[in-house]
Structure 1
Amino acid sequence: MTFSLPSAAIFVNRRLKSSESWRFAVFSIITPSFVYILSSIYYAPMRVSNILALGLVLFLGIFVHRFLFLLLLAFTMIVDGVLFSANYFQMSPMMIVDSVHYLNKLDLFASITYCAVFFFFLVSLIFTYRVTQRAKQNRKQLSLYPLFMVLFTYAGVDWTLNAPSHWELRTESFLSNPFDPVEDAATIRANLKQQITSTTQPDVLIVIVEGLGTFKEGRKQEQIWGPLLDTDLKETYSVQSGSTEYIGSTSSAEARELCNRLADYRDFRDRGTVACLPRIALASGYKTAAFHGFSGAFFERFDWYPKVGFQELNFLENYSGLKHANELPKCGITFEGLCDADVARAVNNFLHQEDSAPKFAYWLTLNSHKPVGSGEVPERLGCKNGGVFKDQELCRMAEQWLNISHLVKGIALDPRLRSTEVLLVGDHHPPLFTRHGRNQFEAGKVAWLHLKPINDNKRQIPATSPDRLSM
């Protein structure tokens, strides 16, 4: 393997105007960045450090062996994609890397967008390699000044367009203190721990809604909560709503709401039982169950859900405990699983079990996961033209969120339901393609709504002290 040291001649001014120099500068920088440039028109996380790393690899490509350059280029582009995805989907880079072995659970090639991105990655890798090798062969005609001019200009433009906000910088570093207590969560606002350990012991239903942030405009948030604000429901429940801070992705939201901890699924691996709300409920005499329409192996929920106190685990693998499973339709595109409407029936069945024990049910919704399938829920918001949101992708997600509100209303008004505390809360902002869509949400906030029963007959069951639970 050979390495040829650069000579000062490659920086001489007389080569500055050579077509070979500018061809190399423009195509080698822009080609592997084209998808990100296109994304920046709508929305893209900043990638200045990735751009500079790419420039360094291209510079080395003029001097090192072609196979070494190809390896460096492929590695740099993969790391670039990982970091971009981590910021885009609000996950830490290490979590993205850790999640790679779950890719077999996803149907990535069902999404035209993901297929196009994968195809372009391969094409741009090959094209950039060939452009650089051609420049290497014509090194005597080459000046590297244009390369650095294009490199630093593009990095500056990227910084100007995509510089992260203070909240985004906070999100990127949230795992610096894993498993620290959180000060703000919807379950804290709703005082659910106090309800569980009280002598009245109402049933509890917690619903984490995939991708639901907090709209800046109250009227848009009210469209999502609409069914839960109806008069007939207010005759039975007092309704409170608001927003709470979030950091991280879905499993971080689960840790926030169920455990009131700053964590994600990886932080449960080396822990035994954890004193989260389901564990406290279990120690207080509750029956506990978790429901999700996707695989329980994804993000290790089969492993850590029992640690936090869930007795019954209902996932795609057991069709959420529903009968006639072979007749159930599937919903979703990349995250294909059970339809939320069917999982809602399973949740309802659990809450109506005829034994005397109070029930603690947790439901993580699925079908509003990006990319959202069309025609899965009733069209209520006029999404062909973007609806009130003026954004078709956001509108399709909003129809899924609205459908969850209808499903929860059906559960809450079922005459068989005993006194039940119902809490809905978003996990994180939706990872929308457009700035216009993303800018409709408050930074770092997710919405919640609490239905508290009014004057219902509640059990008088002595609560078991949860003090013996370990962290």
Structure 2
Amino acid sequence: MLNFSLFQRDFSLPRPSCKQWGALALCLILPNILFWLLTWFTIGQRTIFNVDYLLAMVCFLLPFRITKILGVIIFWLAVFFDAIMFTIYFFPFIDLSSLRYLLPFFSIAPKIYQIAIFVFLAYALILPIFMKKIAKWQNPWLATAAIAIFMMFSVVDKDLGLSWVSSQFGFYKKVSKSNFAIFSQKMPTLSPYPANKETASRRLLQPHSDKILYIVAESWGSARKDSMQKDILKNIYQQENLLEFIHAGYFDFSGATVQGEIRELCQLRIDTGFALNLLEKNQFSTCLPNVLKAQNYQTFALHNTNGQLYERVDWYPKAGFQHIQFGDGMSGLTRCTAFNGICDWEMPNQIMKTFSAHTNQKIFYYWLTLSAHNTYYAEDIKTTRFQCEQYGLNPAGEMCRNSKLNVQLMDSVATLIARPEMKGVEVIIVGDHMPPILDGEDTRQHLRWNEVSWLHFKIK
């Protein structure tokens, strides 16, 4: 027994048993263990102890049915925001509004995403059952003291900028700089893209060329080694004698693919939400396709997968595209793994046919690629010329596969250069965002952080 005196009156607390100490340890460890494993596997970042689970623990300790139900709900919310914050480390653009538009495409998402969601759901459904049972073994005094200590450390942690005890929900609010009111509205806010930040579209020739091919390349980042970057673009540079000029570079950007599109097509920034279908047509009036359409260009848009993803079927026409083709409306072409879309290497032939059919017209042709979407499936890679070991990349890793898919894209674009139908075409290729790497390889060693590459050339 533990004895102490208060105002000359003796109080006694029961000494915790080994079982009760074990129950406390389990209550602290079990809610965090999945994220510990994921952090270790991916070399991500996360607080060691998420205090949000302690609120659920308090509810489980109370002897009321309603508090135990409330504990389950709090636990589910804690898992949800824990998962969101873990994901944000690799996908900085993810928030509640972006999830709203991605979830309908769960059935065609990469398998690793589907597996991850199933694991989190099972974790959230099963673990509260164990937590409620473990709570029955708890020493209430010991548990209360532990909760108080961890809550205290979470406050100290916040003040000192430490990271081992904190609230993931609180961290989400800080990172997202949003609130549920913004989410519930789901209305994006467009603002001019900062003049001091680069976009590839600002490099278009003035006055505009009569023929323009504009490619936003999925997950094309910027290799730190110049030799690696040149190797990716090798087949294009080998035809430099067929080009009027060729320039390349990179600039910083962090965001989702649709934000990269709006950056390049419209010189705009999406500040909240992704529901571009809710915006009026006049908010897209300055987008490049609208500007060129007013100059008698025929404007084309091509994307390899479902047009409902990020509501492109709705906002592409508002941006000024007259002719739009999505992967779900194309048949007889090879499909790759990413969102069950048409493989990138099938697209250049479709592009060439369009330029051939409109020889005497001004054309702006926009293509949003797909095959290099995370997690960069090996079965979608056909090229063998790029040797990952030469650049210190793990040949079985995601960075290697992403690089090979980028090589495959550039090699397929290179096949267009010598085609007579493509004479006089000005070409821009630019990354939407850096490739998310989830397998634990040291991204910063090989890629410039939050940088995207661009390539600009004109065919003679």
User: Is 1:271 the counterpart of 2:284 in the alignment?
Assistant: no
* Cα distance in 1 between the residues matched to 2:444 and 2:35: 17
Q: 1:361 is paired with a residue of what secondary structure?
A: strand
* Cα distance in 2 between the residues matched to 1:289 and 1:55: 54
Match of 2:403 in 1: 398
Unpaired runs of 5+ in structure 2?
1-10, 167-171, 183-187
Match of 1:467 in 2: none
In the alignment, is the contact (CA less than 8 A) between 1:420 and 1:452 conserved in 2?
A: yes
In the alignment, is the contact (CA less than 8 A) between 2:16 and 2:139 conserved in 1?
A: no
Residue 358 (structure 1) shift? 1.1
Residue 81 (structure 1) shift? 1.8
Q: Aligned partner of 1:270: which letter?
A: L
Residue of structure 2 aligned with 1:79, choices 81, 84, 87: 81
Query: Aligned pair in 2 of structure 1 residues 295, 191: CA closer, same or farther (>3 Å)?
Result: same
Q: Aligned partner of 1:40: which letter?
A: T
Scaled by the length of structure 1, the TM-score of the pair is: 0.79
Match of 2:4 in 1: none
User: Is 1:182 the counterpart of 2:194 in the alignment?
Assistant: yes
Residue 99 (structure 1) shift? 1.9
Match of 2:25 in 1: 26
Greater shift, 218-227 or 397-406, is seen at 218-227
User: Is 1:314 the counterpart of 2:325 in the alignment?
Assistant: yes
Residue 287 (structure 1) shift? 0.7
Q: What RMSD over aligned residues (CA atoms) do the two structures have, in Å?
A: 3.6
Query: After superposition, what is the alpha-carbon deviation per residue over 1:171-210, rounded to whole angstroms, capped at 9, x for unaligned?
Result: 8559997423233343344135x332xxxx3311111111
* Cα distance in 1 between the residues matched to 2:92 and 2:288: 25
Query: Aligned pair in 2 of structure 1 residues 105, 356: CA closer, same or farther (>3 Å)?
Result: farther
Q: Aligned partner of 2:383: which letter?
A: P
Query: After superposition, what is the alpha-carbon deviation per residue over 1:11-51, rounded to whole angstroms, capped at 9, x for unaligned?
Result: x9977864344433433333233332123225466554992
In the alignment, is the contact (CA less than 8 A) between 2:216 and 2:368 conserved in 1?
A: yes
Query: After superposition, what is the alpha-carbon deviation per residue over 1:105-134, rounded to whole angstroms, capped at 9, x for unaligned?
Result: 5245x33x6425523541464234423432
Residue 213 (structure 1) shift? 1.2
Match of 2:104 in 1: 102
Q: 2:281 is paired with a residue of what secondary structure?
A: coil
Residue 261 (structure 1) shift? 0.8
Residue 148 (structure 1) shift? 5.9
1:323-334 correspondence to structure 2 within 5 Å = 325=331, 327-333=332-338
User: Is 1:451 the counterpart of 2:460 in the alignment?
Assistant: no
How many percent of aligned residue pairs carry the same amino acid?
21
* Cα distance in 1 between the residues matched to 2:385 and 2:61: 58
1:372-387 correspondence to structure 2 within 5 Å = 372-376=376-380, 377-382=382-387
Residue 312 (structure 1) shift? 0.9
Residue of structure 1 aligned with 2:235, choices 219, 227, 234: 227
User: Is 1:262 the counterpart of 2:269 in the alignment?
Assistant: yes
Query: After superposition, what is the alpha-carbon deviation per residue over 1:377-435, rounded to whole angstroms, capped at 9, x for unaligned?
Result: 2223345x696323621111111100111111111221221311101111111110125
Residue of structure 2 aligned with 1:368, choices 356, 372, 395: 372
Q: 2:421 is paired with a residue of what secondary structure?
A: coil
1:431-446 correspondence to structure 2 within 5 Å = 431-433=436-438, 434-446=440-452
Query: Aligned pair in 2 of structure 1 residues 16, 202: CA closer, same or farther (>3 Å)?
Result: farther
User: Is 1:428 the counterpart of 2:433 in the alignment?
Assistant: yes
In the alignment, is the contact (CA less than 8 A) between 2:223 and 2:229 conserved in 1?
A: yes
Q: 2:422 is paired with a residue of what secondary structure?
A: coil
Match of 2:349 in 1: 345
In the alignment, is the contact (CA less than 8 A) between 1:13 and 1:143 conserved in 2?
A: no
Query: Aligned pair in 2 of structure 1 residues 29, 414: CA closer, same or farther (>3 Å)?
Result: farther
* Cα distance in 2 between the residues matched to 1:315 and 1:35: 38
* Cα distance in 2 between the residues matched to 1:58 and 1:148: 12
Query: Aligned pair in 2 of structure 1 residues 117, 310: CA closer, same or farther (>3 Å)?
Result: closer
Query: Aligned pair in 2 of structure 1 residues 292, 177: CA closer, same or farther (>3 Å)?
Result: closer
* Cα distance in 2 between the residues matched to 1:177 and 1:269: 11
The number of residue pairs the alignment matches comes to 424
* Cα distance in 1 between the residues matched to 2:433 and 2:401: 17
* Cα distance in 2 between the residues matched to 1:158 and 1:20: 31
Unpaired runs of 5+ in structure 1?
1-11, 163-167, 320-324, 457-471
Q: 1:33 is paired with a residue of what secondary structure?
A: helix
Scaled by the length of structure 2, the TM-score of the pair is: 0.81
